Structures are given as structure tokens and as C-alpha cells.
Amino acid sequence: MWSFETAAIRSGYSSVAGVDEAGRGPLAGPVVSAAVILGSEPSEEASAPAYLTEINDSKKLTPRKRERLYVEIRRHAAAVGVGIVDAGEIDRINILQAAIRAMVIAVEALDPAPDYLLIDGNLPIPVELPQAPIVKGDARSISIAAASIIAKVTRDRLMAEYHRQYPQYGFSRHKGYPTRAHRQAVKDYGPCPIHRRTFKGVREYVE
């Protein structure tokens, strides 16, 4: 999981950030990106903090484990940045551009700033930094995996807040993804302010 970070550091970079997003597929809510600088791989002489050995693609972790690792990453990482783009902006510029914009916001929020980026996916992002897109990077790079955890937990917490505002849609259960129950709720109640009105499953019910 450290191979991409180690290769970048051996090439002369000193501050490598992993970048990932959560929330491209839902019918409602924002897309959230995160950028994380973990630092260098622990040396053989120094035992790695336990939480580092547990970091993995957020989709492979239980919600409880994601929450715990979120706290550890926030506490120990050299820097964490988050970018959020809401449903209205997603409808205006499309979900791909919104996800990229959220990634840029997350990278620009890092303090200290990185000098190299590892991006989940196959596209670079428009920032003036050397970078490497990595397909399935959240399962191959520890920094991207850490970013995936931050992005996922941040978005899930936002959707829990939206559930309190719009309980009829069940956002706390499906987080805005197009489950059968969510589609039925949109049909029964119509879209709410956080629904993505250009998405199939919502646009049919926009007045």
C-alpha cells in the first residue's frame, strides 16, 4: 500500500497527498472529496502505528471501523483537506466536473501543501502540482485509501444531518444512493432541496 508514496519520495518529493471522492452515484446530497498527507512509510526499525495497518479502501471497511480510522487519520496525519460540492452545483456542471472541483478544493485546503498528488481514477485534476492518477487507487495506495475514508465518513455524516431535515426519504439508511426505497420516496414525495435534479430517478419528478 506504500509503493506509490515511497516511489514518489525516492524521486525527490517530500509531501505526497492521496486524493479520493465519495458520492458520485447518489440521487441526493453533495459529492465530497478528501486529500490526505500521511507522511513517509514507517522504517523497519520503527513499528507502524496500528491504525496505519488497518487503512484500506473505505468500501471494504465496516461503518464502525471507518469512523474509528477517520478519528485516527484526523489525529495523526500531517494534513487533511476536504472539498464539498452541493447538489445544485452538480446539476449545473455535471457530476464528473463536480467531483474534480471537490478534489481541487480538498487539495487547496491542505496545510502544509503537498508537492505531489496521487489521484484515485484515471484523470488528473487542474492544479499546478505533479500528480499520478491511479485506477482503483483506493485499494492500491495507502494515502488514497485514507482519503477515501475521510471523504466517505464526512459525506455519511452530512447525509445523517439531512435525514433530520428530510426524514421521509431515509437518507440515514441509504445515504442518497438509488435504492428501491429511496426511488419510491422520491416518487411519493417529490424531490427535496438536496436532490440532484438532472439525475435519472429524480428528474422525472421535477415540476
Residue 125 has pLDDT above 90, yes or no: yes
Cell of 130: 505533479
Residue 207 has pLDDT above 90, yes or no: no
Entry pTM: 0.96
Q: What rounded mean pLDDT belongs to the chain? A: 96
Segment 38-59, tens digit of pLDDT: 987 776 655 678 899 999 999 9
Annotate 26-49 with b (16+ C-beta within 10 A) or e (fewer).
bbbbbbbbbbbbbbebeeeeeeee
Share of the chain above pLDDT 90, in %: 93
Segment 62-96, tens digit of pLDDT: 999 999 999 999 999 999 999 999 999 999 999 99
Segment 128-173, tens digit of pLDDT: 999 999 999 999 999 999 999 999 999 999 999 999 999 999 999 9
**Strand ordering across the sheet containing 31-37:** 79-85, 31-37, 16-22, 116-120, 131-134
Annotate 115-153 with b (16+ C-beta within 10 A) or e (fewer).
ebbbbbbeeebeeeeebeebeebbbbbbbbbbbbbbbbb
Dist CA 173 CA 192 (whole Å): 17
Segment 179-195, tens digit of pLDDT: 999 999 999 999 999 99
Which residue in the block uniquely carries the three cell numbers 494515502? 143
Domain boundaries defined on the chain:
3-156
Q: Which CATH architecture has domain 3-156?
A: 2-Layer Sandwich (3.30)
Segment 4-51, tens digit of pLDDT: 999 999 999 999 999 999 999 999 999 999 999 998 777 665 567 889
Residue 50's pLDDT is: 84
Closest CA to 39 of 76, 68, 86, 89: 76
